[in-house]
Amino acid sequence: MGRQRLWLGLLVTPVFMLGCSRVFASPPPSMNSYTTYLSGYQVVPPNFTTGYGMVKLWINSNETSISYKMTYSGLSSNVLQAHIHFGQEPVNGGIIVYLCDNTETAPGGTPACPNSGTVTGTVTAPDVNPSGNPAPVTSQGIAAGEFAGLIGAIEHNDAYVNVHTDDFPNGEIAGWLRPGY
């Protein structure tokens, strides 16, 4: 009887510990997170640049907002703007939302882009495919304010972040968003 309890303990304890470590290591269940690493090699067509960066975003549990943190450095020139685009890898697509802007094209409230550093913010339905968007996604089926279209593009791996600069107006660094931290 003692040996059976010992064996049971040896089997149950590791399973329990693994379960606990998964619970404590996971992001909060109310958030879906996505990440990308930005480089010139992920721009279409690719660029040779020393620029690099990273973007993390979190979709809130009721899918009405997305919070993001974008960090980049080593770029060749002044940053013009950064967006999330709707396009399958490796195809260029239209602009869904602005993450930062120095051209006064983005909707009010969009943060300015530093030439190096970190930008944080939150996007909501009014930010999706905004009025005056120079590369709208209307022809791709996402209407102005259609937040579900933004969520769908991200969740189906058809969204990428692109940082545009003076030297590379079509994008100096980019990366496709993927699930996880």
CATH number at residue 175: 2.60.40
Cβ contact 54:176 at 8 Å? no
Q: What is the pLDDT of residue 2?
A: 55
Question: Is 3 within a domain?
Answer: no
Across the chain, what does the average pLDDT equal? 88
Question: Is 68 within a domain?
Answer: yes
Question: Is 169 within a domain?
Answer: yes
Task: Report yes or no on whether pTM surpasses 0.85.
Answer: no
Q: How confident is the model at residue 3 (pLDDT cuts 50, 70, 90)?
A: low
Distances (CA, A) of 33 to 25, 61, 114: 14, 11, 24
Distances (CA, A) of 35 to 22, 32, 58, 122, 134: 20, 10, 9, 15, 25
Decide if pLDDT at 118 tops 80.
Answer: yes
Question: Is 174 within a domain?
Answer: yes
Question: Is 4 within a domain?
Answer: no
Portion of the chain with pLDDT greater than 90, in percent:
80
Domain that holds residue 86: 27-179
Q: What is the pLDDT of residue 30?
A: 46
pLDDT per residue as tens digits for the range 66-103:
999 999 999 999 999 999 999 999 999 999 999 999 99
Question: Is 20 within a domain?
Answer: no
The tally of domains found in the chain comes to: 1
Question: Is 79 within a domain?
Answer: yes
For residues 20-38, average pLDDT: 64
Question: Is 22 within a domain?
Answer: no
